[in-house]
Amino acid sequence: MPSDFKGIKVLITGASGFIGAHLAERLVIAGAHVTVMVRENSDLWRLEGIKEWISLSLGDLRVQQEVENCVKTIRPEYVFHLGAYGVDSRQGDEVQAVNTNVLGLVFLVNALLETGCTKLINIGSCMEYGNKDEMVKEDDYLAPFNIYGSTKAAGTIIAHQLAARGGLPLVTLRAFGIFGEGEGSHKFFPNIIISILQGKEVRLTGCEQFRDYCYVDNLVDAFLLAAGDQHCQNEIFNVGSGTIRTLREYVEMIYQRMDSQLKPKYGAIPYRPVEYWRPWPDTGKIHSVLHWEPRISLEDGLDRTINWYRCNLDKYMGTGR
């Protein structure tokens, strides 16, 4: 696959989301012919800057015929599957999670087996592992504790089985904490940044949980490397910096960079009954196989993210984004 992607037909699901929009923009810049599958009435504000260079295909992952029609019409050479339900904690419908995260991926794999495809890149989740006391490797047992993690794990297992049987190259990237420009206001980093910019009180848990946060462009690098490596056919990779910090450390870094005189209210929100305490990825496999390393540091990523929200705060005012 050419490193510049020029002229390559690419299909992206979930492109209207935070990570998908970053991936779509990078592929447009690289010269790919990008089509995004979106549901009717999707909010495409994240794609506004590249709308002239992408094609839209209406389709719902939960509807088999719509997935098949999209794939047969476009006949993409590479597919990046980022469409999911439950990433937003406000999405709590278990049936929708199963229909999107399990059946939707099955529909996509089966459609690609019919038409042919050079490679499918799927986004997984650290939630597939559940709570572990130690650093997790890709072949560790899966013990998800919520419906999102369970359905993502089930989708990954079934998709890899079907793809291996049918000869479809499939790579799943299990992303850990990802942050960057354009993330939803309810997420951890944007909630703090936007609140500080608006002079609002930031109410938090005790923030003793550990997380590995990695800047979004580093994850996009991993997507492109996984697509471009011809020897990588049926693999799962953890994606993260490999370093965990307490949430409190991240909070303090944001406050210092924004030079805020306000103080976060630690302990104002109780911990969840089932808290996610220590997701810690072993990233040795992606380093050795794909030679991937985080290109942009946590500090530089934070500076870029904070600056973007300063310049784009209006996009969140009264929108519920």
Instruction: Convert the pLDDT of each residue in 26-37 to its tens digit.
Output: 999 999 999 999
| Band of pLDDT at residue 3, cut at 50, 70 and 90 | low
Query: With contact defined as beta carbons under 8 Å apart, do 257 and 193 qualify?
Result: no
Work out the percent of the chain whose per-residue pLDDT is above 70.
Answer: 99
Q: Please compute the mean of the pLDDT values over residues 305-317 and round it to a whole number.
A: 96
| Band of pLDDT at residue 2, cut at 50, 70 and 90 | very low
Judged against a pLDDT cut of 80, whether residue 89 lies above it is answered with: no
Query: With contact defined as beta carbons under 8 Å apart, do 109 and 46 qualify?
Result: no
Q: Average per-residue pLDDT in the chain? A: 95
pLDDT at 125: 97
pLDDT at 319: 80
Q: Please compute the mean of the pLDDT values over residues 107-118 and round it to a whole number.
A: 97
pLDDT at 88: 76
Q: Please compute the mean of the pLDDT values over residues 50-79 and round it to a whole number.
A: 97
Q: Please compute the mean of the pLDDT values over residues 229-254 and round it to a whole number.
A: 96
pLDDT at 69: 97
Give the Å distances, CA to CA, from 123 to 19, 37, 236.
10, 16, 10
Separation CA 238–CA 127 (nearest Å)? 12
For strands 245-246 and 210-211, give the pairing: antiparallel
Judged against a pLDDT cut of 90, whether residue 92 lies above it is answered with: no
Work out the percent of the chain whose per-residue pLDDT is above 90.
Answer: 93
CATH topology (fold) of 183-212+243-280+297-316: UDP-galactose 4-epimerase; domain 1 (3.90.25)
Query: With contact defined as beta carbons under 8 Å apart, do 42 and 18 qualify?
Result: no
Tokens of 19: 């990570």
pLDDT higher at 3 or 32: 32
Judged against a pLDDT cut of 90, whether residue 15 lies above it is answered with: yes
Instruction: Convert the pLDDT of each residue in 70-88 to its tens digit.
Output: 999 999 999 999 999 998 7
From the list 178, 131, 174, 144, the residue with the least C-alpha distance to 276 is 131
Separation CA 10–CA 80 (nearest Å)? 8
Superfamily of domain 9-178+213-239: NAD(P)-binding Rossmann-like Domain (3.40.50.720)
The ranges assigned to domains in the chain are 9-178+213-239, 183-212+243-280+297-316
Query: With contact defined as beta carbons under 8 Å apart, do 151 and 102 qualify?
Result: yes
Q: E strands along the chain, which residues? A: 9-13, 33-38, 54-58, 78-81, 119-125, 170-175, 177-179, 210-211, 213-215, 234-239, 245-246
Separation CA 2–CA 8 (nearest Å)? 8
Distance of CA 119 to the CA centre of its chain: 18
Give the Å distances, CA to CA, from 36 to 81, 180, 212, 244, 247.
10, 21, 29, 34, 34
Instruction: Convert the pLDDT of each residue in 140-176 to its tens digit.
Output: 999 999 999 999 999 999 999 999 999 999 999 999 9
Supply φ then ψ for residue 146, to 5 degrees: -140, 170
